[in-house]
Chain A
Amino acid sequence: EDQVTQSPEALRLQEGESSSLNCSYTVSGLRGLFWYRQDPGKGPEFLFTLYSAGEEKEKERLKATLTKKESFLHITAPKPEDSATYLCAVLRYQLIWGAGTKLIIKP
């Protein structure tokens, strides 16, 4: 069965403390992997799309990487405004979504 699993469910970091969020998938025929950010009370906001193993994309303090079984969202020197829930989704015929990782950055 196609499945997308994100870990950890929640992550608390101090401002400036770098870390990584994981998105593992068991989806055959992956056609793309998407990362979104969701703030409380809002809809998800698109961050990145990755298409093939080895691909990397960066935006400000965020860098997304992709292997054949998982993707990582690396957060370097995070700030409180990076606090949000980060969602990943894998495209097969339609998007299959993970449950998200809630990231809290404490000042």
Chain B
Amino acid sequence: DVKVTQSSRYLVKRTGEKVFLECVQDMDHENMFWYRQDPGLGLRLIYFSYDVKMKEKGDIPEGYSVSREKKERFSLILESASTNQTSMYLCASSLLAEGEQYFGPGTRLTVT
């Protein structure tokens, strides 16, 4: 079974802090994704990566950056956290770019 793990389940940070969210997958998938999920809205894509050191902007990249130094690991960085970045963050991976995605359990981030 594909396993996607995320570094924290819950995180509380202060406005202006730099925040790192880490995601690791164990199935040698090429593609990895970061989404945020807010009530009443569908999942929104922040960034994705189709290979090591490669990244592409999604629909809402502003205020975020990513890093993929190893195939299994994809990090999301909030350079200066703001209260409107309070959300559930979901990481996913897929073997094929257009194939089914496998999700981690999510990180619920609260920025105060």
Q: Show the binding face of B for A, using Cβ within 8 Å.
A: 4, 40-45, 48, 58-59, 90, 92, 98-106
Contact = CB atoms under 8 A, between A and B. Distances in A.
Contacts of A32: 98
Given A31-B98, A44-B90, A97 B103 contact: no
A96 B42 contact: yes
Contacts of B106: 41-43
A98 B41 CA distance: 7
Interface in A88-103: 89, 91, 94-100
Interface of A: 4, 31-32, 34, 41-46, 49, 87, 89, 91, 94-100
Given A89-B43, A94-B58, A97-B42, A44 B103 contact: yes
A9 to B, nearest CB: 8
Classify the interface of chain B: helix, strand, loop or mixed: loop
Classify the interface of chain A: helix, strand, loop or mixed: strand
Contacts of A87: 42-43
Nearest to B4: A43
28 contacts: A4-B42, A31-B98, A32-B98, A41-B106, A42-B105, A43-B90, A43-B92, A43-B104, A43-B105, A44-B90, A44-B101, A44-B103, A45-B103, A46-B100, A46-B101, A46-B102, A49-B100, A87-B42, A87-B43, A89-B42, A89-B43, A91-B98, A94-B48, A95-B101, A97-B43, A97-B44, A99-B41, A100-B42
Contacts of B43: 44, 87, 89, 95, 97
A30 to B, nearest CB: 12
B102 A98 contact: no
Given A43-B103, A49-B100, 10 more contacts: A4-B42, A42-B106, A44-B43, A44-B101, A44-B103, A89-B43, A95-B43, A96-B42, A97-B43, A99-B41
